[in-house]
Amino acid sequence: MVDEVDQDGIERIDVRYVANLARLYLDDSEVDTFQGQMEGIVEYVKQIGELDLSEIEPTSHARPIQNILREDVVSPGLDHELVMDNAPREKDGQFAVPQIIE
């Protein structure tokens, strides 16, 4: 998402592209606002680069917990009627959505 570098060597974020991935629709002034905010965030996180991390393994989780597993046992889920209460529309027991076009 950081895909260009300007003449001062500062990485520019393509806010419109990122917004599009998240299905967010921004007008021009919003793009400007987020441009500044997101670049601020990136700059902030970049401070970590000032440290020597050559001996540190990448961390995927904050806590050292492993193997939280369950046995393969079935238990009933939600009642169908209750589930469909959340459906915007229903058709033949299914969630009806706008036609999917590929």
Partner 1 sequence: MNYIVSIGLEVHVQLRTKSKMFCSCDTGYGAPPNTHVCPVCLGYPGAMPVMNKEAIRMTVLAGMMIGSEISTYSKFDRKSYFYPDMPKNYQITQYDKPFCDGGAVEIMVDGKPKTINVTRIHLEEDVGKNMHFRGSSGVDFNRAGIPLMEIVSEPDMSSPQEAYDYLTALKQIITYTDISNCNQEEGNMRCDVNCSIRPEGQTELGTKTELKNLNSFKAAFHALEYEIARQKEVLEAGGEIVQETRRWDPDTFETYSMRVKEKAHDYRYFPEPDLMPVVLDMELVEEWRSGLPELPEVRKARIITQYGLPEYDAGVLVSEKALADYFEGAAELSKNPKAISNWVMTEVLRFLSEKEIEITELKVMPKALSELVSLVDDKTINMTTAKEVFAIMCEKGGEPAGIVKEQGLAQVSDDGVIDAFVKQAMAENPKSVEDYKGGNKAAVQFLVGQVMRMSKGKANPQMVVGLLMDLMKG
Q: Where on the chain is the footprint of partner 1 (CB under 8 A)?
A: 1, 21, 23, 60-61, 63, 65-78, 80, 83-84, 86, 89, 91-100, 102
The answer to whether residues 15 and 8 touch, using CB atoms and an 8 Å cutoff, is no
CA–CA distance, 63 with 58 (Å, rounded to integer) = 13
48 or 65: CB nearest partner 1: 65
**What count of other Cβ atoms lies within 10 Å of the Cβ of residue 75?**
4
7 or 67: CB nearest partner 1: 67
Minimum distance between the CB of residue 89 and partner 1, rounded to whole angstroms?
7
